[in-house]
Amino acid sequence: MEINTFEQLKTECIQSGKEIFEIAQENTAFSADITIEDVRNFAKRSLDAMKEAIDAGMSSNEPSMSGMCGTDCLRVQSKFSTKPAMFGKLFEKIIEYALATSEENIRMGKIVACPTAGSCGILPSTIVAISEFYNYTEEEQINALITAGEIGRIISAKVAIAGAVAGCQAECGTAAAMSAAAICTLRGGHVSQIIHACALAIKNILGLTCDPVAGLVEVPCVKRNPFMAIHSVTAAELALANVESKIPPDEVIDAMEQTGALMSPTLKESSQAGLAVTQTAVKVQQKIFG
């Protein structure tokens, strides 16, 4: 059966007794005419690239071409080394890894667009940090990544995952939903908890604008990554406690689609409003592009 909604996904999981990642890898293998092992190898390649990006980003201080971003990951690491974060080591890691990845992106390093380049730090930060902290195996991480991919795919069946079409709610919001799903999977959550985690994550960022300064994927994008990563942890923890979204997950996606369509084009990646036209942003833009 073709799965394009959360409801269908849930029904399929319950009827077959399978987990989301099992259904996703079977369906993907079937429609691409490849083996399940091929699908998992593809996911492993992405997972490895995510870890590589984190490693590179954790030790670099190189600014982006515009000079606006690139030094915050080391700033945060040095703070944590003398004054640990209130919420502990795992919180520190998630913040650091999200910054490391998105700073790698803006300095033209190698990253995985998941789902986009601007939101590339969110999902890797939680999968990798949580797996290191709790010693989850590579197989478990791949299961979580495939689950996240399936969630992103279902969202994209309704909403274009592009800031220019539906605002940042569709990019970083989708990434947060994927991340929440990955966390629930790692922590042993069941399908209903996983999809409610996605709904909770998205409900809380509906309407998020895309107004990047000077049209570059830097401000507010880079710092938005650690914010969204922690946001996804909250969604996952609520859902794992069986807190449910009062609005069913599919309807939340409908709301996201409608909100995206109603948002002014000036707030959708065109840099014609919001942060992009503040006094400082205009000055920055003149300095970079003359």
Q: Does 109 bind other proteins (CB under 8 A)?
A: yes
* Residue nearer to ligand SF4 on the CB measure, 128 or 221: 221
Q: Does 106 bind other proteins (CB under 8 A)?
A: yes
Using CB distances below 5 to 8 A depending on partner kind, what does residue 111 bind out of other proteins, ligand SF4, none? other proteins
180 in Cβ contact with 196 (< 8 Å): no
Window 252-271: residues binding other proteins (CB under 8 A) = none
SS3 105: helix
Of 237, 202, 190, the residue nearest 87 (C-alpha): 237
Residue showing tokens 């259904």: 23
Q: Rg of the chain over CA atoms, in angstroms?
A: 19
Using CB distances below 5 to 8 A depending on partner kind, what does residue 161 bind out of other proteins, ligand SF4, none? other proteins
The phi and psi torsions of 210 (rounded to 5 degrees) equal -120, 100
* Residue nearer to other proteins on the CB measure, 114 or 252: 114
147 in Cβ contact with 104 (< 8 Å): no
Planar angle of CA 274, 235, 196, nearest 5 degrees: 110
Note the residues at the interface with ligand SF4 (CB under 6 A): 116, 118-119, 163, 168, 171-172, 210, 212, 217, 220-221, 224, 269
Amino acid at 289: F
Using CB distances below 5 to 8 A depending on partner kind, what does residue 289 bind out of ligand SF4, other proteins, none? other proteins
Q: Does 189 bind other proteins (CB under 8 A)?
A: no
Find the shortest distance in angstroms from Cβ 217 to ligand SF4.
5
* Residue nearer to ligand SF4 on the CB measure, 50 or 122: 122
Planar angle of CA 172, 173, 177, nearest 5 degrees: 115
**191 vs 15, 19, 132, 272, CA distance in Å?**
12, 7, 24, 41
Which residues of this chain interact with other proteins, rule CB under 8 A? 24, 28, 31-32, 39, 42-43, 45-46, 49, 64-66, 104-118, 120, 145-146, 148-150, 152-153, 156-157, 161-162, 164, 178, 214-218, 288-289
